[in-house]
Structure 1
Amino acid sequence: MAEFDQYNRWEAQIRQVQLPHWSELPKFDLYMDQVIAFVNDAIGSLGVEAMTPAMINNYVKHQVIIAPIKKKYQTMQLADLLLIGLLKPLFSTETIRHGIDQVTAGDFPKQAYDNFIDVLNEALRQLGKGTAATPAKNLNEKLMQVAVNTIINRIQSEQLLKLIEKPIKKLK
């Protein structure tokens, strides 16, 4: 029963998490160490893997994000890195990039990002309450809902596994 209470406390903490909208992202260019600090601070409370300079350099090298200009990253790259950080444990970087490109093809990047953050923030607020999401009006909205549900299910599963984990005897 103590583990269940601990899980309920964790859920209450997660319901308080609010990921930043586009207008809350820095309006000035950032160097790598600032990007790392910002991204990890924004999504770290959800238990996702911390972003590293090597990861970001790899995303640039494989054209998952646009290369920085004079070693400085802009708002668009920050938004992409936040989304990648949330989705990377679940999907390949190619799938993430393709999804971002598809959603932003029908909507401006700022609006598409804010829509995704709104859906995710609402899902976090409703965690454990059993409230159904607002029905999607189009395929882009449905894609966002499915991705958000996948993120929520992953962080819940990982937390539950941590709480119920018991030592396992190894077979010889």
Structure 2
Amino acid sequence: MVKNTLEELIEELENFTQLKFESIPDIDLYMDQVTTFIEDKLGYLKRNKKDRTITKTMINNYTKAGILMPPKKKKYSKQHMILIILIYYLKQILSISDIQSLFSPIVNSIMSGKSSGENLNDIYKTFLKIEDGEVKAFADSFKNNIEKKGILNENCDKSPEENLNDLIMIVIMLVVKANIEKRMAEKIIDNFFKE
């Protein structure tokens, strides 16, 4: 039972759908269209169905924080959409303050007219490649770690208590790795993006 469920979870993780660059609208959208689009395309990433992927308040707060450019005539461009998508991903791990430090140079450059946003397009395309590669690498690493623990071993008869202990250790392993990676991301932001 545990083996089958873990295999299904790994498969679900590997079969995620990326929001390709070409799928982001090239036309400017009103706020309601932005929230509907993001909810439709990224809603599958929510942990609970009741959660909201993005709200009007969030978008307004990102704009006030300088993480997002103000809309032009109440419309949001493809660059706005890219930033909103990246913010959604990053805020799962980083604080809004860290995201602001990370993106404010890009936002300021776009707002001042020094940049057309092409570098943001490149960042998003690279993000997609990184995400795809990291998901595959994670799935392989996860399977290897689980096999070492004997959970996916079909010939192993474990008690429910032993399975529970193994699952606790797997969660701890994942959290420790995520915490180490989060701390490294914060150190890079602190050393290169904060004054």
TM-score band (shorter)? Answer: 0.5 to 0.7
Identity of aligned residues (%): 24
2:21 aligned with 1:10, yes or no? no
**Rounded Cα–Cα distance in structure 2 between residues aligned with 1:102 and 1:3:** 47
Who is 1:47 aligned against?
46
- Are the equivalent residues in 2 in contact too, given 1:15–1:126 (CA < 8 A)? no
More helix by share: 2
- 5 Å-filtered alignment, 1:61-76, equals 61-76=64-79
Q: Which amino acid aligns with 1:69?
A: K
**Rounded Cα–Cα distance in structure 2 between residues aligned with 1:61 and 1:103:** 15
Q: Note the residue ranges of structure 2 that are not aligned, 5 or more in a row.
A: 110-117, 143-173, 180-195
How far the C-alpha of 1:95 sits from its partner, in A, is: 1.1
**Rounded Cα–Cα distance in structure 1 between residues aligned with 2:106 and 2:66:** 18
Compared CA separation, residues 102 and 59, structure 1 to 2 (3 A): closer
Partner SS state of residue 66, structure 1: coil
**Rounded Cα–Cα distance in structure 1 between residues aligned with 2:88 and 2:3:** 28
**Rounded Cα–Cα distance in structure 2 between residues aligned with 1:23 and 1:10:** 28
Q: Note the residue ranges of structure 1 that are not aligned, 5 or more in a row.
A: 132-148, 155-172
Mean CA deviation greater in 22-31 or 46-55 = 46-55
Q: Which amino acid aligns with 1:119?
A: I
2:122 aligned with 1:123, yes or no? no
Who is 1:33 aligned against?
32
- 5 Å-filtered alignment, 1:14-163, equals 14-47=13-46, 50-100=53-103, 108-130=119-141, 153=178
Compared CA separation, residues 101 and 4, structure 1 to 2 (3 A): farther
**Rounded Cα–Cα distance in structure 1 between residues aligned with 2:60 and 2:106:** 24
**Rounded Cα–Cα distance in structure 1 between residues aligned with 2:24 and 2:82:** 8
Q: Which amino acid aligns with 1:39?
A: I
How far the C-alpha of 1:4 sits from its partner, in A, is: 4.3
**Rounded Cα–Cα distance in structure 2 between residues aligned with 1:5 and 1:153:** 24
Q: Which amino acid aligns with 1:129?
A: D
TM-score (norm 2): 0.58
Structure number with the bigger relative contact order (C-alpha 8 A, sep ≥ 6) is 1
Mean CA deviation greater in 80-89 or 7-16 = 7-16
- Spell out structure 1 runs of 4+ moving beyond 6 A: 102-105
Per-residue deviation, residues 87-107 of structure 1 (Å, max 9, x unmatched): 1121122211322456899x8
Q: Which amino acid aligns with 1:124?
A: V
TM-score (norm 1): 0.65
**Rounded Cα–Cα distance in structure 2 between residues aligned with 1:36 and 1:153:** 28
- Are the equivalent residues in 2 in contact too, given 1:36–1:51 (CA < 8 A)? yes
CA RMSD for the aligned pairs? 3.0
**Rounded Cα–Cα distance in structure 2 between residues aligned with 1:16 and 1:46:** 12
